[in-house]
Structure 1
Amino acid sequence: MDIQQFNRGLLSFIDASPTPFHAVSTMVATLTKAGFVRLREGDSWDLVAGERYYLCRNDSSIIAFVCGKQSILDHGVRMVGAHTDSPCLRVKPNPDMLEKGYLQLGVEIYGGALLNPWFDRDLSLAGRVSLTNDKGELISVMIDFENPIAVIPSLAIHLDREANTNRTVNKQTDMPPMLAIVDGDELNFNDIVIAQIERQHSDVSVSKILDWELSFYDTQPSAMTGLRQQFVSAARLDNLLSCYTGLQALLQADGEMTSILVCNDHEEVGSSSAAGAQGPMLKHLLQRMCQTTEDFARVIERSMMISADNAHAIHPNFIAKHDGNHGPQINQGPVIKINANQRYATNSETAALYRYLSDQVDVPVQSFVVRSDMGCGSTIGPITATELGVRTIDIGVPTFAMHSIRELAGSEDAFGLHKVCWQFYNTSDLPWC
């Protein structure tokens, strides 16, 4: 796979994945085509060396792995972690709002969204709906309206003269998207959802909508941008970029070492859920790979996790927001993320191994440390390290406009990260084995 093919695949993956449910579904289709076998957590397993498997939880988290030919007791496992969720607007349970003849929907803000860029965008809606069908069965289906069905119009500057100097956004009153003008008819969101299900799933006859997890998203397609096509411009780069990168590396793993890709939901809201990184999904898998508690401890000691989540590139208009010696640049390589207070899980040992792997595949490396007078975000890295006790490094592709409705990364960096993850999966011995 060359870099152009890789980037085309990345754009297609993001456009096909407007929600975590769709991201997992897209990954499942790719894995199935590549010969991976689905496992269900409630079944008994008989794992075979050399075979490839995957499992899902909540339809929004996925673990795919290659059951290596080499003993995990001797060589440990290679793990890459990412997350499927991104900040967005989630539809409330009772969302219908009617103001001056306009049908609007009440929304919750999911995660730490940058809200101003959501205004004046062509929005669509996607996610999961639970229902009973005409047979009385309880089922869930995914829907995606695909076409622009909503917008959040800005207030004209004539009515807000301080919009360019002192604009704030009220999450409750300013963010409800507008869907339609309803002139006396009885249009409501429940009926809109039923109609969409029946359009998209001709074999489903809806008796009653029971619940939904539906998110608005920008319909503008992902693109390669810039005068020299040096940028990847897309929604949800944080962190579908890392999901796709890890997936492509795993698909190309040689199968000698046991290699795992875990993509959890709910990172943007703290990871504290059954499907999040603080849940037991990954730990349960590793325990089932080991016959005893002692085996589990031995495997963890010989293993490592690469936590892949986007990093903050130094913005040329806001240079002072970065430490002078630690401002990652676009297309200068993936970034090792470091924090003395353990907001990132990197230590000198794991950073050294990552630099070593990067040298093997000729990929440049950068470092990020937040300014000492600013707060620091976090990732699934410290959570996974705490839950498992596994050596972990936090890395990521440098990105602009993180948590905006549209983010910007470099056209070279994700492919570089893919090469390092591939090298990691195919390295026979880690220094501590």
Structure 2
Amino acid sequence: MSSAPARPSPAAAPARSASRAPSPFDRGHTDDLMAFLAAAPTPYHAVANAAERLEKAGFRKVEETDAWDGTTGGKYVIRGGAIIAWYVPEGAAPHTPFRIVGAHTDSPNLRVKPQPDFGREGWRQIAVEIYGGPLLNSWLDRDLGLAGRLTLRDGSQHLVNVDRPLLRVPQLAIHLDRQVNEGMKLERQRHMQPIWGLGEVREGDLIAFVAEEAGVDAEDVTGWDLMVHALEAPAYLGRDRELLAGPRMDNLISVHACVAALTAAAAQGAALPYIPVLAAFDHEENGSEADTGAHGPLLGNVLERSVYARGGGYEDKARALAGSVCLSSDVGHAVHPNYGERHDPTHHPRPNGGPILKVNVNQRYATDGSGRAVFAAACEKAGVPWQSFVSNNDMPCGTTIGPITAARHGITTVDIGVACLSMHSARELCGAEDPHHLANALVAFLEG
């Protein structure tokens, strides 16, 4: 379990210039993030890991199908690859506002189709579908594992993680494509299907294999949600180990920071003026249109039921939401040294410069001036630096759960995150200090 993020000293707060030697920082949070990334190859594993950390901090799981009570303390709900957790301090009124930190558990990848076993030219392959918007070439020629969940006849679900070299998407040799370095086009259907062996294709082989790995009977498996993951472990990078490389940093950096911040804030107990909430959704990378996505009812239901369980009614819920604020945390773009012209000329977020405030006046991000003030206050209280990000006007802007949360629930929402390179690659890169900065800012925000 991650301990509460250590507060940086005031001397560590200013963003350092490129000419200065690296300042020391507490690597404990980043070390723990690396362990979290390695243990969470799928949204289901990320949620299970988060729940384990919450349990160790005194939170307890509640079921959506049960009646809820108004007791104080930490609680959480899991639905598929999403988790909502909240802490009710002593003395909280039904209309007490919420402070929400939001993130998403999913990452772009390759996901197994319903009939996975096929092959060509004597090779045994696995049929996959492209999930989200990955950098396809980053999945080529990597050792890949397979993980996810199996659903049995009795409705039970079992996590499985084949965390060893099992699959590979082989690239065509340059001798057979002499123009590859002048431009490579990958066809999603033909070119992205991984191999996993040689010989005769037999229907049911993959699920039988995965069932054995999970320790269940293949005959009992009636459903599965399986996906491919890169096996290379997270690692510090660079001469001074000031960078962090790893898989699924979009957006498990934020999930990990949110869990650490919530458990740290909950330790304040009755001193909290708000009800701190963690909302980690699934399916952000394909539009959030799911029962476990930000467009779904999960967060709204939890907030409403929390108000009603404490004896409140509609008026109390309306008052609570009107006074609530959400920080939507997702990674953003650090300035790329080889493509500086692709960035806004006056906004160049840099690694280890602190979390970024993401702004788009067309509401692809939900930040406005009042939200900026909330975020700036949290960073000032935490003693961490922060930066601003806007897209180049000639480049389309991505989006997050932020605008969805603001529009669906009427909650003031601010989009923030960590600046990184290689977003949506099988392996991404950020400053090693920035996850720690982000967690500290989130703690200060939740504590009010």
Partner residue in 2 for 1:53? 75
Matched, 1:289 2:306: yes
Asked if 2 retains the 8 angstrom alpha-carbon contact of 1:123 and 1:148, the reply is yes
Q: Deviations over 1:403-433 (max 9, x none)?
A: 0000001111111111111011112xxxxxx
Counterpart position of 1:366: 387
Whether contact under 8 Å (2:162, 2:213) holds in the other structure is no
Percent identity, aligned pairs only, is 40
Out of 2-11 and 375-384, give the one that drifted further.
2-11
What letter matches 1:333 in structure 2?
A: G
Q: Is the 8 A contact 1:72 1:258 kept in 2?
A: no
| Cα drift, residue 193 of structure 1 | 2.5
Aligned to 2:434: 413
Partner of 2:205: 191
Residue 222 of structure 2 aligns with which residue?
Answer: 210
SS in 1 for 2:163: coil
Residue 237 (1) aligns with residue 243 (2): no
Match of 2:378 in 1: 357
1:227 lines up with 2:239 in the alignment:
yes
Q: Distance in 2 between matches of 1:234 and 1:110?
A: 19
Contact 2:87 2:277 survives alignment (8 Å): yes
Q: Describe the SS at the equivalent of 1:152.
A: coil
2:434 partner letter: D
Task: Determine whether 1:266 maps to 2:283.
Answer: yes
Q: Which moved more, 1:71-80 or 1:111-120?
A: 71-80
Deviations 1:105-127 (A, max 9, x none): 11110001110010000001001
Instruction: Using structure 2 for the length normalisation, give the TM-score.
Output: 0.90
Q: Which sections of structure 2, spanning at least 5 residues, go unmatched?
A: 7-25
> Secondary structure of 1:314's partner?
coil
- Could you say which residue in structure 2 is the equivalent of 1:92? 113
Match of 2:83 in 1: 62
Among candidates 284, 292, 296, match of residue 279 of structure 1: 296
Report whether the alignment pairs 1:9 with 2:21. Answer: no
User: What SS does the corresponding residue of 1:129 show, helix, strand or coil?
Assistant: strand
Structure 1 residues 208 and 191, CA gap change in structure 2 (3 angstroms)? farther
Residue-by-residue CA offset, 1:198-242 (whole Å, 9 max, x unaligned): 3432xx334243221110010111111111111110010000000
Cα distance, 1:314–1:72 mapped onto 2, change above 3 Å: farther
Query: Is contact 2:211–2:221 with CA below 8 Å preserved after alignment?
Result: no
Q: Is contact 1:76–1:300 with CA below 8 Å preserved after alignment?
A: yes
Deviation readout 1:142-186 (Å, 9 max, x if unpaired): 11111110111111111111111111110000000000011x4x5
* From 341, 353, 358, the counterpart of 2:362: 341
Query: Partner of 1:431 in structure 2?
Result: none
Structure 1: gaps (5+ residues): 428-433
Does the 8 Å contact 2:332/2:420 carry over to 1? yes
CA shift, 1:89, in A, is: 0.2
Q: Which residue of 2 aligns with 1:396?
A: 417
CA–CA separation in structure 1 for the residues paired with 2:350 and 2:91: 38
Kept in 1: contact 2:158–2:214 (CA 8 A): no
Aligned partner of 1:174 in structure 2 is 191
Give a deviation string over 1:319-340, Cα, whole Å, max 9, x none.
0000111121111111000001
The CA distance in 2 between the partners of 1:335 and 1:146, in whole Å, is 33
Shift of 1:75: 4.6
Aligned-residue offset at 1:47: 2.7
Aligned in 2, Cα 1:94/1:168: closer, same or farther, shift over 3 Å?
same
Q: Which amino acid in 1 is paired with 2:77?
A: L
Q: Which residue of 2 aligns with 1:247?
A: 259
State the Cα distance separating 1:72 from its structure 2 match.
4.9
The 2-side partners of 1:69 and 1:351 are apart by 30
Q: The residue matched to 1:207 in structure 2 has which SS? A: helix
1:140 is aligned to 157
Give, in whole Å, the separation in 1 of the partners of 2:421 and 2:192.
23
Give 1:130's aligned residue: 151
Question: Deviation string for 1:283-336 (max 9, x for gaps)?
Answer: 011111222111111001111000000010000000000011112111111100
Among 43, 51, 60, which residue is 1:37 paired with? Answer: 60
Cα deviation for residue 48 of structure 1 reads: 1.4
1:319 aligns with 2:340: yes
Query: What is the Cα deviation at residue 86 of structure 1?
Result: 0.2
For the 8 Å contact 1:129–1:209, the answer to whether it is kept is yes
Report whether the alignment pairs 1:386 with 2:407: yes
**How many angstroms apart in 1 are the aligned matches of 2:170 and 2:192?**
9
Which residue of the other structure, out of 23, 46, 50, is the alignment partner of 2:46? 23
Instruction: Give the whole-Å Cα distance in 2 for the aligned partners of 1:342 and 1:111.
Output: 21
For 1:195 and 1:312, the matched residues in 2 are separated by 39
Contact 2:124/2:197 (<8 A) preserved: yes
Paired with 1:359 and 1:138, the residues of 2 have a C-alpha distance of 48
- Give the stretch that moved more between structures: 90-99 or 328-337: 90-99
The SS at the match of 2:156 is strand
Structure-2 separation of matches of 1:423 and 1:75: 18
Contact residue 73 and residue 298 of structure 1 kept, 8 A: no
In structure 2, the residue corresponding to 1:125 is in which secondary structure? strand
Deviation at 1:262, TM superposition (A): 0.6
